[in-house]
Amino acid sequence: MVATRILPTVAGWAAGIAVTAAILGTPYLLFAYHDPQLHLVLDSADTGVALLVAFLIWGRYRRSGRLQDLLLAGGLLLLAVGGIGMALGLHLLGLEDGRADVWLPVAIRVVGALMVLTASVVGVRRVPDGWARVLTALPWATVALGLLLTYLLRGSLPVPLAATPPVSAEHPVITGHPALLVAHGLTAVCFAVASVLFACKAAQRSRGQDELLRWLGPAFGLAAFARLNYLLFPSLYSDWLYTGDLLRTGSYAVLLVGAAREISRYWSAQARAAVLEDRRRLARELHDGVVQELAYIRVETHTAVGDPEDRERMVAACDRALDEARAAIDALGRSTDEPLGFVLHRAARQVADRYNASLEVELDDSVHADDEQRHALVRITREAVSNAIRHGRTERVRLRLERDQHRRRLLVLDEGQGFDPATVKRNTTGYGLTSMEERASALRGSVNIDSVPGRGTTVAVTW
């Protein structure tokens, strides 16, 4: 299970290593092409995806208040603004001179990478009081300060790239200002460490708990190798298309997949919550209406009917109706996230308390069942416990839930009067044995009833 959660990150790193190794080890592989149009298209697509994912994670922060979400949203916002946004801002300020339009985006991306790295470290802790507004304003303050410093230092900024890219590229050319190379290297390290940490955190979460987190590892792994490729051939800010551009777009494509799955999971959760609330409303209506009326009928029948046999039959009918109503309330009003053992314990306890019988339980919480199986097991449990008390005349019932190798087993045991199963099966109206067998069959399992007159009964359901 853990290997499955980190598999996307392993695949992302494998892709990045393969591309980089091909560039370094194959002299005939061209990794730079002069294509301004495609370069602009990829930049625009990457910026759009980064903004979308940043907005999604900002929404998560508004609901959760987690520091990780706030830092991650801010980091992705800076990575998005460092692309087309900075080009537009510098164009409006008239600072497109081959210097400012390189240094400002790379500086903003370094800050964004540091925020992503910090987000991978802090985990799920909540934003400390007083820091929420500061961290929210940090990306915007970074952009504003960068624009201001760029404008003030526009005449003294060093030349970032000393050479124009060749017509074709067959070997890496590590050239450019040392600060530019350091910035690419630092960004690559930040993304690489963040990728590993996000993958570790995804492995610690249960499946489906945080769908987006599972895709942050491979996305930032690809982003790290994209920056490494820019370090090998640092001409990101030209009209050329590089393998680094393709790896960067691949990282944003993975982020887009994670965002889509996160949105799907969110709306599925909203739909389940709406259904659960409606089920609880119906359960309240049943409890306040049908159950109360049946309880009243039972009490009146017990006192008003003169013939003991008639009274016993009518009280038994009321008990069955109450069992049906309470089973419906449990099915409608309870969350499917409750452990199976807890659900069965509650169902058995309700029946035992009604007849003032004691209940002993031995439940393995590692045993699970899906929704349909839960319903069938609850009905079997209620029927078996009711039969043990009402017909077996026992004052103590034992309930066990256990795992036997690859099978799961539910046991209801009593030391009551017992009965002859062969005789009872010929009487289709007795004890509800047929109903229990049909429900066990629906579980893709079986029910075995072991009983001897005077020696108690054991009902074993295996599935």
Distance CA 349, CA 339 (A): 16
Query: Quick count: other Cβ atoms within 10 Å of Cβ 345?
Result: 17
Distance CA 263, CA 76 (A): 17
Distance CA 242, CA 235 (A): 8
Burial class of 295 by CB neighbour count within 10 A (0 to 12, 13 to 18, 19+): middle
Give the pLDDT score at 168: 47
C-alpha distances out from residue 32 to 40, 42, 161, 229, Å: 15, 14, 16, 11
Whether 242 contacts 22, CB under 8 Å: no
Nearest to 376 by CA among 283, 279, 443, 460: 443
- Count of H helices and E strands in the chain? 15, 7
Six-digit token string for 167 = 């017509």
Nearest to 51 by CA among 71, 73, 66: 73
Give the pLDDT score at 238: 60
C-alpha distances out from residue 10 to 6, 21, 118, 198, Å: 6, 16, 22, 12
Quote the pTM value.
0.60
Intervals of the chain under pLDDT 70 = 1-4, 26-32, 85, 87, 89, 91, 93-98, 161-175, 205-209, 234-239, 279, 281-294, 296, 300, 302-307, 310-311, 313, 315-317, 320, 324, 326-337, 425-432
User: 189-192 contacts: CB < 8 A, separation 24 or more?
Assistant: 189/224, 190/113, 190/114, 190/116, 190/117, 190/224, 191/113, 191/116, 191/117, 191/220, 191/221, 191/223, 191/224, 191/227, 192/220, 192/221, 192/224
Distance CA 116, CA 189 (A): 11
Query: DSSP states of 14-80 as a string?
Result: HHHHHHHHHHHH-TT---EEE-HHHHHHHHHHHHHHHHHHHHHHHHHHHHH-BHHHHHHHHHHHHHH
Q: Sign of the C-alpha dihedral, residues 434, 436, 441, 445?
A: negative
Distance CA 306, CA 302 (A): 9
Six-digit token string for 61 = 């922060």
Amino acid identity, position 229: N
Domains of the chain, start order: 2-271 (1.20.1070), 335-463 (3.30.565.10)
- H helix or E strand, kind and range, residue 184: helix 178-204
